[in-house]
Structure 1
Amino acid sequence: MAINRTAEDRKKALIIGGGIAGLLVARVLSEQYNEVQIIERDACPEQPGIRAGAPQSFHLHQILPRGEVILDSLFPGFTAEILAHGAFPIQKNTLIQMINPYGAIPFPSTGGEEIKAGTYSRALLEWVLRQRVEDLPNVNFLYHQQVIGLETSANDGQLTVNGVYIRERGQLQQRTTLLADLVVDASGRSSKLAQWLSDLGYDVPESERVTSAIGYSTRYYRIHPEKRNLGVIVIEGDPATGNSSGGVLKAVEDDIWSVCIASVGGNYPPTEAKGFDEGLAQLISPAIAEAVRGAEVLTEPRGYRIPECVRQHYEQMERWPAGLLVIGDALCHFDPVYGQGMTVAAIEAETLAMCLQQQQEQPQADFERRVLQRMQEAIYPAWWRSVLEDLRWTGVTHKGPVELKGVKLLHKYFEFCMKQSTRKLLEQMQTGDFNPLYMSYFMMNWLFISPRDVINARTLFALLEGETHEEKQAILTEMFEGYEQNIEAALEEIVPHFTFEFRQPPVSM
């Protein structure tokens, strides 16, 4: 039953969960298995909308540029299709603006005479992906079914997962066994995998946790007819003043603005109309508050809270059952404020596709364990970045197998990167010049490049160009306070060695 068998023996794969991660995995596995079945606890949707199993779908979601590249690779024509379903078209005059304490950067749209990009809700994204997956001849869905356990067998001390036990959602008596050559847990934050493994006698490592006390509040507006060029506005918080609230305005399908206020550290945004308006006014920029002024309100604000973010470390287990994999939020769920979750799920699916291809060309034992390790390598840069950002705010704590190094220094470093990159980009927009160095900080946040491509002495000194000698010395002295070694050695000590392979696209402004 293990994956290291020949491709001819790979007859059936089961996926627990039909959300974004499950759909992406189904697309990948459809090329390797004769049959792929997705077990979904919700009913079959008849149109794009909020599923009971994904209540967060009401709230603003964003897939980062890296994720969209992968989607277009897995589903050729994806962008054109989601535009055809009504996604907000990014055109030549569409404003996509990022605002931080150091300025407002208007990123150029990728639109032109021919519209090649759009913005959309999570509900529409999931709908379009599901339609594409349903069109695959060897993929089918089993709706309104709940997975309640793993079916296993043992041979010479090696446990193999042969399938799952399911029952109709809401029914407590009868259960059915589904057999398969591979089971993938893509059930999200509600995953029961850790408990199932423990029940089977496995020693499950303690999970890594960030107690972030995240809250966000979302409200929908009809796009103001005189402001139809506003596509995306992102407003960040300001650690210097302790204002942890950020805001996002995003145009989506059906002529709607989705507007969200988010915060970390237990400072939960308001969920009633007057408080929501006040919350927008208290952001570091009035841009979103001014945009929605006079716009038709479509919904009341709705809140959502996440007490902590969790990363499982199954790759540390000495034993792992054959025929079992895990992906998406079931493996690691992030602070949604940074918009990494769906993009990381796409990266994981891409990673699985590469692992399967390599296994087909050069079969090796313990495939599942090696996939778990590769998945962790794919997750780590985004997780590390997210945890560091959350730790900027009072009340946030991190507990894991490895203590993060140089947190204060890294906070200073990233703040300096954001400040200099913002100022330099705004200067270049005035002069017409372009140096891709000043996009590096943002490319890292969009998961295109490794943090090590940004956190190094060469980049630091390049960002210091233009400062006087005295200013440089003052910045470096304050940043590296308490570090006796040289700058290169200090950064080498605190930045992990990320082994994941990044794929950087051409960059221009």
Structure 2
Amino acid sequence: MDHAVVIGASMAGLLSAAALHRRFALVTVLDRDTLPAADAHRRGVAQSRHAHGLLAKGREVMDALLPGVTAELVAQGASTGDLQRQARHIHAGKRLARGDSGLTGLLVSRPLLEGQVRRRVSGLSGVRVLPNRTVTGLLSQEGRVTGVRLADGEPIPADLVVDAAGRGSRTPYWLGELGHQPPQEDRVTIDLRYGTREFRRAHDHLGGDLVVVIGPTPDSPRGGVALALEDDRWIVTLAGYGEGPPLDLAGFAGYAATLPAPDLGHLIRSAEPIGEPRTYRNPTAVRRRYERLSRFPDGLLVTGDAVCAFNPLYGQGMTVAALQAKALLDLDLRPLPYFRRIAAVVDAPWEITVGGDLRLPGVEGGLTPKMRMVHAYLDRFHAAAAHDPELARRFLRVTNLYDAPTSLMSPVALLRVLRNGAPRAVPVPA
């Protein structure tokens, strides 16, 4: 095939281009932003000043699409480490046991990560990344998408168009113009509000650990994360449902002190603040159910946040985008088979995030009886994982998208939960 067009130079768009260049003679990535020459925040990535988690599975897939990119990022100051041995995970109010997970995390700022990926993708044979190009419509012929139209009226013909334009994707509207139904949307109103500050990182902070993750609980619907970044920095993001942290240093530290564990509060009080604090609000998590459509125009695919925009507190977006880019390597690029493939990628992280959010006060929607039983079991699972490194490792494999959530309820896991002193596990329906 000759030409593929990708709408959006997001991480989803860039990794999609990395996959498509193996299939197409020419790949053109179009972005409405002025893309920075140096690694810097840009307007089109509103969350880039906040903590970004790239899960171990996402790093692995990114390295498969762009061999050696992790090593290149480490050479520029990023860190890697075992996500159980060198990280502090507090979930359901329980501190998970340490051990060797075999899961390698990559700690890097969004500007450096995106900048290096953009440099690598731009250097691929037959790939061009063009800034200041706003796509306003699709070209079509006999029901097939044949390219895109830019704001200045310029047509760009293509054999395949991939929409990686994020939450603001216009594909649902464009489908109507082509005589197709838009996809059903699943929405969860979360009203997540968060604030971020950066701090100077000393080597003795947190005993040399690289990551702190503190999840919210029904009794304390606040959470936070600290990640070690290049240039000896910490980035600390604190978040709440319906209310966020104050940005002044005293208020930020006070908010951290209300979390289910004291680690972030201690770090904030002991580290030197640098830079300006930032805030952000995410009102909803949205999943567009393209896989349920019976008709869809050939020549058009959708990926990344344009398909599913997760609650960012869980850090799954970039990894899911990488897995969806990998799905573009399949020989069958017809829309409906593609959407079914990526639905299987989205199902588990969507189940994890929505199930977790619906437990929290202020999140709209009710828990089903099955969800209640699952959560009752997981509370007991986390209690056991606080002193069973193997259970902690199994949990991290699920949250890093290696294993299905059902693996936490396997006979072996159930036995360890019972044997390791947690309250009696409740049965979970199949």
Same fold (TM over 0.5): yes
Aligned counterparts of 2:420 and 2:380: Cα–Cα separation in 1: 14
Count of residues in correspondence between the two structures: 428
Deviations 1:160-210 (A, max 9, x none): 00001112xxxxxx3111100000000111111111112222122330111
The residue type equivalent to 1:164 in the other structure is V
For the pair 1:183 / 2:132, whether they are aligned, the reply is no
Match of 2:321 among 345, 357, 361: 345
Is the partner of 1:299 in helix, strand or coil? Answer: strand
The residue type equivalent to 2:370 in the other structure is G
Q: CA deviation at 1:263?
A: 2.1
Which one has more relative contact order, counting CA pairs under 8 Å at least 6 apart?
2
Pair 1:192–1:107, CA change in 2 (3 A)? farther
| Preserved contact between residue 286 and residue 310 of structure 2 (Cα < 8 Å) | yes
Aligned counterparts of 1:301 and 1:107: Cα–Cα separation in 2: 34
**Counterpart mapping for 1:125-140 below 5 A:** 125-140=113-128
Aligned counterparts of 2:101 and 2:341: Cα–Cα separation in 1: 34
Aligned counterparts of 2:420 and 2:409: Cα–Cα separation in 1: 19
**Counterpart mapping for 1:48-197 below 5 A:** 48-88=39-79, 90=81, 95-100=86-91, 101-103=93-95, 105-106=97-98, 108=100, 118-154=106-142, 159-167=143-151, 174-197=152-175
Is the partner of 1:55 in helix, strand or coil? Answer: coil
Pair 1:18–1:301, CA change in 2 (3 A)? same
Aligned counterparts of 1:88 and 1:75: Cα–Cα separation in 2: 18
For the pair 1:455 / 2:409, whether they are aligned, the reply is yes
Aligned counterparts of 2:233 and 2:341: Cα–Cα separation in 1: 39
The residue type equivalent to 2:118 in the other structure is R
Aligned counterparts of 1:203 and 1:109: Cα–Cα separation in 2: 45
**Counterpart mapping for 1:75-474 below 5 A:** 75-88=66-79, 90=81, 95-100=86-91, 101-103=93-95, 105-106=97-98, 108=100, 118-154=106-142, 159-167=143-151, 174-224=152-202, 226-227=204-205, 229-239=208-218, 242-264=219-241, 266-353=242-329, 355-356=330-331, 359=332, 367-398=334-365, 406-425=370-389, 436-456=390-410, 459-467=413-421, 472=424
The residue type equivalent to 1:250 in the other structure is L
Tell me which moved more, 438-447 or 313-322: 438-447
CA RMSD between the two structures: 2.5
Is the partner of 2:382 in helix, strand or coil? Answer: helix
| Preserved contact between residue 456 and residue 491 of structure 1 (Cα < 8 Å) | no
Q: CA deviation at 1:406?
A: 1.2
Aligned counterparts of 1:11 and 1:331: Cα–Cα separation in 2: 25
The residue type equivalent to 1:201 in the other structure is G
The gaps in structure 2 that reach 5 residues or longer are none
Aligned counterparts of 1:145 and 1:187: Cα–Cα separation in 2: 12
Aligned counterparts of 2:252 and 2:172: Cα–Cα separation in 1: 38
The gaps in structure 1 that reach 5 residues or longer are 1-9, 168-173, 360-365, 426-435, 477-486, 493-509
Aligned counterparts of 2:8 and 2:234: Cα–Cα separation in 1: 29
| Preserved contact between residue 56 and residue 105 of structure 2 (Cα < 8 Å) | no
Q: CA deviation at 1:42?
A: 0.7
Q: What is the TM-score normalised by the length of structure 2?
A: 0.93
The residue type equivalent to 1:87 in the other structure is A
Aligned counterparts of 1:404 and 1:152: Cα–Cα separation in 2: 43
Pair 1:375–1:107, CA change in 2 (3 A)? same
Deviations 1:244-266 (A, max 9, x none): 111211110111110110223x1
Is the partner of 1:248 in helix, strand or coil? Answer: strand
The residue type equivalent to 1:163 in the other structure is G
| Preserved contact between residue 384 and residue 420 of structure 2 (Cα < 8 Å) | no
Aligned counterparts of 2:129 and 2:66: Cα–Cα separation in 1: 19
The residue type equivalent to 2:281 in the other structure is R
